[in-house]
Structure 1
Amino acid sequence: MTLMLHAGANPLDYDDLRQLEAPEATATHVPIPHHRLVDAVRHTLGFYGHAVEEEHHGVTPDGMRYFGVLSLKSSYGDYTDTVGLRNSHDKTFPIGISFGSRVFVCDNLAFIADHVVRRKHTANAKRDLPGLVGELIEPLADQREAQHRVMTRYRTTTLTQDAADHAVMELYRADVITVTRIGAVMDRWENPPHDWGVKTAWRLFNCVTHALEGRIAEQPVLTERLHQVIEATCVHRPPPDSVGRLLSQE
């Protein structure tokens, strides 16, 4: 799950979320209760066959701003997809719904994911909310299948030591890892703290995310760069002596 509350919001469960009241509507601003947004997304996910396995919610002390993340049960393996939610009653930001393999929802107003829908709090937004949610979730099955193909490619791409070394250097060049993190990644590559299987692109991917767990959360764009390097590694593997040349040039 990727819900970071470090700018004033507090975690709460769904039952407590239901107890929060929305302000009265005006001619130009029609607040939608936070739990109604959660209900709409949950219902639509279920309609399209997605099961919510875990959820986390947070609100600011005044109850005006809401942040949430729903984790979806996966039939593909040991990872999950997530849906991020955001809502406000004080016009701070519009309704937000996002999906991605790396959803990041934060109470400092960061809101990053693969697919994002935002809509201002108007009478039309309240009326159109079910349709908006449906438009986002209807293609979700295809998106999850595409992600599964990526993960399968990682799992089935065995890496030589030269290929792994080359990928780590590319991660450094892409500013995914710093010089001081190279050792941490390689240590996990040789002695993984979890069972990530044999030396494949999947194992390297997990080595990097494990070594950068805090930094990945604070800078989600790193995940995109990480995927780009791992994807390139799966397609193009360097000749045996190329890594030595690369290292001698640094």
Structure 2
Amino acid sequence: MTLMLHAGADALAYDDLRQLETPPSTATHVPIPHHRLVDVVRLTLGFYGHVIAEEHHGATPDGMRYFGVLSLRSSWGDYTDTVGLRNSHDKTFPIGISFGSRVFVCDNLAFIADHVVRRKHTAHAKRDLPGLVGELIEPLADQRDAQYRAISRYRATALDQAAVDHAVLDLYRAGVIKVTRIAAVMDRWEDPPFDWGEKTAWRLFNSVTHALEGRITENPKLTSRLHDVIDATCVSEGGAHRGAGLLPAPNHA
């Protein structure tokens, strides 16, 4: 998971969130307690069959701003999906809920993910929050299944050296990697730091994301371009038909 706290926020346990005071409501601003946002998301995830494997929370010292990331347990192996949260009591930003396998939530207000819902703190937001969360989480099962099928396709598509060379060139042309990163990608392809299996599209995919050292997390456009190239490589190698869509990047550790 990716929760960056370097602009004043501190890591907190969930129980500590419950101890933070929530300012009184006004006619135009209705603060939602940070722990209530977590509670609603937790409850909705559980209702739709998602299991939280790990969670991290953070808040500014005055308790006005909250940031969190929840990791979902996967029955498909070595990657996880994540839900990112943020909330404020001082009108700095609206309620934020996001989903993706490479959610990036930061206390400097960066908020990057595949699906994002933002809502201002009004009386209607408080009333509508369960429904908003439900609309975001209800399709998660299908999205996670689509990701599983895409990764299975990558693992089933063997690549020879010519195909890898062509894919790396396409990645460069697409702006996913720079010339200075090509050597790092090839090093990981030949000698993977983790067990990414045989020489397949899955191994190449992980070689690229690992070589980028977090850059893929901070720029969702790179993830889309990366999947675009890997999907096209699978098609050219006869691995599968393109059309599963551009899916979020999995974790590696």
Question: TM-score of the superposition, structure 2-length normalised?
Answer: 0.91
Structure 1 residue runs without a partner (length 5+): 239-250
Q: CA deviation at 1:233?
A: 1.1
| Greater alpha carbon shift after TM alignment, 39-48 vs 13-22 | 13-22
SS at match of 1:96: strand
Aligned letter for 1:218?
A: E
SS at match of 2:67: strand
Q: C-alpha separation between the residues in 1 aligned to 2:136 and 2:206?
A: 28
Q: C-alpha separation between the residues in 1 aligned to 2:160 and 2:58?
A: 44
SS at match of 2:53: strand
Q: C-alpha separation between the residues in 2 aligned to 1:214 and 1:148?
A: 22
Indicate the residue corresponding to 2:231 in structure 1.
Answer: 231
SS at match of 1:87: strand
CA RMSD of aligned residues (A): 1.4
Indicate the residue corresponding to 1:7 in structure 2.
Answer: 7
Q: CA deviation at 1:138?
A: 1.0
- Say if 2:144 is the partner of 1:109: no
Q: CA deviation at 1:237?
A: 4.6
- Say if 2:132 is the partner of 1:136: no
Q: C-alpha separation between the residues in 2 aligned to 1:5 and 1:175?
A: 29
Q: C-alpha separation between the residues in 2 aligned to 1:88 and 1:232?
A: 42
**Which deviations, in whole Å up to 9, do the C-alpha atoms of 1:148-202 show, x marking residues without a partner?**
1111111111111111111111111122111111101101101111110000010
Q: C-alpha separation between the residues in 1 aligned to 2:227 and 2:21?
A: 42
**Which deviations, in whole Å up to 9, do the C-alpha atoms of 1:204-228 show, x marking residues without a partner?**
1111111112322333332222111
1:142 and 1:206, CA in 2 relative to 1: closer, same or farther beyond 3 A? same
Indicate the residue corresponding to 2:163 in structure 1.
Answer: 163
Indicate the residue corresponding to 1:242 in structure 2.
Answer: none
Q: Is the 8 A contact 1:2 1:69 kept in 2?
A: yes
Q: C-alpha separation between the residues in 2 aligned to 1:220 and 1:5?
A: 20
Indicate the residue corresponding to 1:205 in structure 2.
Answer: 205
**Which deviations, in whole Å up to 9, do the C-alpha atoms of 1:106-142 show, x marking residues without a partner?**
1221212111111110011111111111111111111
Q: C-alpha separation between the residues in 2 aligned to 1:103 and 1:214?
A: 11
Question: TM-score of the superposition, structure 1-length normalised?
Answer: 0.92
1:6 and 1:174, CA in 2 relative to 1: closer, same or farther beyond 3 A? farther
Higher relative contact order (CA 8 A, sep 6+): 2
For the pair shown, the structure with the greater C-alpha radius of gyration is 1
Indicate the residue corresponding to 2:77 in structure 1.
Answer: 77
Q: C-alpha separation between the residues in 2 aligned to 1:76 and 1:163?
A: 27
Indicate the residue corresponding to 2:193 in structure 1.
Answer: 193
Higher helix share: 1
Aligned letter for 2:44?
A: T
Q: Is the 8 A contact 1:102 1:223 kept in 2?
A: no
Kindly, what percent of the aligned residue pairs are identical? Answer: 82
Aligned letter for 1:215?
A: R
Q: C-alpha separation between the residues in 1 aligned to 2:155 and 2:60?
A: 41
